[in-house]
Structure 1
Amino acid sequence: MDKDIIGWREWVELPELGLGKIKAKIDTGARSSSIHAYDIEEFERDSETWVRFAIHPDQHSDENVISCEARVKDYRSITDSGGHKTMRYIIETQFKIGKDTFLAELSLFNRSTMLFRMLIGRTALKGRYVVDPARSYCLSTSPEIAASE
């Protein structure tokens, strides 16, 4: 089976969270995927643990705020690229990249000091794509281009 080629950055939608296109870094060095989330608040719904959180989806801007809720799949220790461990909420949600929609795990973490608000790790990519680090936006177009079509 041939796999689609994905670039080192792509536009990703998270429809279950009400998020349109967000610029994501494709990172095969990271096992898990992560999104910039803050004001994370745990609550209970139907005897399950949920979280309410806010996201700044736009790179280099804190103006746009999206409020989200999701069921917690796990709460686990994640080691970042510098070897630091932090406990993070893990949710499972739909990722939409180009024509593909699939479920994948996403850790909630304050990424305000990082260039990309979202990082897609190898677990979400496994079996789906071949990454070409010399290319960008192979499967997706920017929101501005999509709006003008």
Structure 2
Amino acid sequence: MGWREFIDLPDLGLYNIKAKVDTGARSSSIHAFDIQPEEQDGQQWVNFKVHPLQHDDSEVVQCRAPVKDSRQVTDSGGHRTQRYVIDTTFNLGGEQFTAEVTLADRGNMLFRMLIGRTAMNGRYLVDPKLSYCVSHQPQTTE
């Protein structure tokens, strides 16, 4: 795979997310905001919103998922934050698998999603010179 790819997260209703592939990051992460935890039938859930398009905050997708964990994550700047962790289905390069994703405010980051090495482990080899090796840029209607 290349250093950036398009990914679908169908459990969350998110498609054609431009993601940065980051072998230096352990966890995958998606830009989430208005994060609201709740309990239902003894299970922890989290409701959150996502701006799925890079450089565009006009589209908002409401998402909901069971909470797998809440843990301290250290970002690239060395800052530690508490984040919710969910499991969700990844559709990437014709493969479908479940991987962990942390919910984080990535509003100031170039990419709305980061694919970390845990999700790639045993599945992909990364060539940092290339882009969109296992995915294709979505066709626009413009």
If the TM-score is normalised by the length of the shorter chain, which range does it land in? over 0.9
Matched, 1:121 2:121: no
1:136 aligns with 2:125: no
Structure 2 equivalent of residue 35 of structure 1:
30
Paired with 2:14 and 2:54, the residues of 1 have a C-alpha distance of: 14
Match of 2:55 in 1: 60
Matched residues, percent identical?
A: 59
Residue 42 of structure 1 aligns with an amino acid whose one-letter code is P
* CA positional deviation for 1:82: 1.4
1:74-110 CA-partner distances (Å, limit 9, x unpaired):
0000001111100000000000102001000000001
Q: How does 1:1-149 map to 2 (within 5 A)?
A: 6-144=1-139
Structure 2: gaps of 5 or more residues: none
**What is the root-mean-square deviation in Å for CA atoms of aligned residues?**
1.0
Give a deviation string over 1:115-139, Cα, whole Å, max 9, x none. 0000000000000000000000001
Residue 36 (structure 1) shift: 0.2
- Aligned-partner SS, 1:140: coil
Q: Structure 1, unaligned stretches of length 5 or more? A: 1-5
Residue 93 of structure 1: SS of its match in structure 2?
A: strand
The TM-score normalised by the length of structure 1 is: 0.92
Aligned length: 141
Which secondary structure state, in structure 1, belongs to the residue aligned with residue 118 of structure 2? helix
Deviations 1:38-69 (A, max 9, x none): 00000112210000000000000101100000
TM-score (norm 2): 0.97
- Aligned residue for 1:132, secondary structure, equals coil
Deviations 1:6-30, CA, capped at 9 Å, x for gaps: 0000000000001111000000000
